[in-house]
Amino acid sequence: MRKLWLALLIVSVSLGAVAPAAHAIGVYGIWWMPDESDDDGFGIGIKDKKSLTPLISIDGRVSYVTFDSPDAAIIPVEATGLVHIGMLYGGVGVGYYFFSGDANIESVLGWYIMAGIEILPGPVSVFGEVKWQSLEPDLDIPTGGSLDFNSIVLHAGATFSLGGM
């Protein structure tokens, strides 16, 4: 059994040398649902995905999400390492979250885990993702404190292939 796993590891690492480096840009909508709040956030984002091998890719994301209560907006700048198995993928990411608005929330580093599906009908594909977000920013007020902003986040959008860029 160890020989089989070693052979699979060697094959998957070697595929990166012969596979073309696919590059794609995506646009997606966001539904951000904090655990400790009744107010959901909605927004839009863009992502830039670069395949390293057929099984592994990285993507960078920038998005904008607004909330009514507290009156706040989040600008996440994120990087994700992904593993692909057919149409399904999953990964772990890290991001820096800039807060703006009347809520006096400090910008903070956070992390997340994500799973998704991408359906490939051609040079344009559609995707859906679910992400569990760990985010606990400090409040920028004299009494201090922090905000529990751990959330479930849903993404749905389209990806446009740019060939071997």
Q: What is the pLDDT, as a whole number, of residue 2? A: 58
- Within-domain flag for 39: yes
Burial 95-118 (b: 16+ CB within 10 A, else e): bebebeeebebeebebebebebeb
In-domain check, residue 7: no
User: CA separation (Å) from 45 to 25, 68, 73, 75, 138?
Assistant: 11, 19, 13, 9, 24
* Residue 15 placed within a domain: no
Distance CA 136, CA 10 (A): 40
Residue 1 lies in a domain: no
Other Cβ atoms closer than 10 A to 24: 22
> Which domain covers residue 148, as residue numbers?
20-161
- Encode 144-160: b = buried (16+ Cβ within 10 Å), e = exposed: eeebebebebebebebe
Positions in the chain short of pLDDT 50? 6-9, 11-21
In a domain, 63, yes or no: yes
Q: Is residue 29 part of a domain?
A: yes
Confidence (pTM): 0.80
Domain count, the chain: 1
Instruction: Tell me if 32 is assigned to some domain.
Output: yes
- Does residue 120 form part of some domain? yes
The pLDDT assigned to 3 comes to: 55
**CATH code assigned at 33:** 2.40.160.20
d(CA 66, CA 101): 9
Calpha distance 154→30 (Å, rounded): 6
Would you state the pLDDT for residue 119?
92
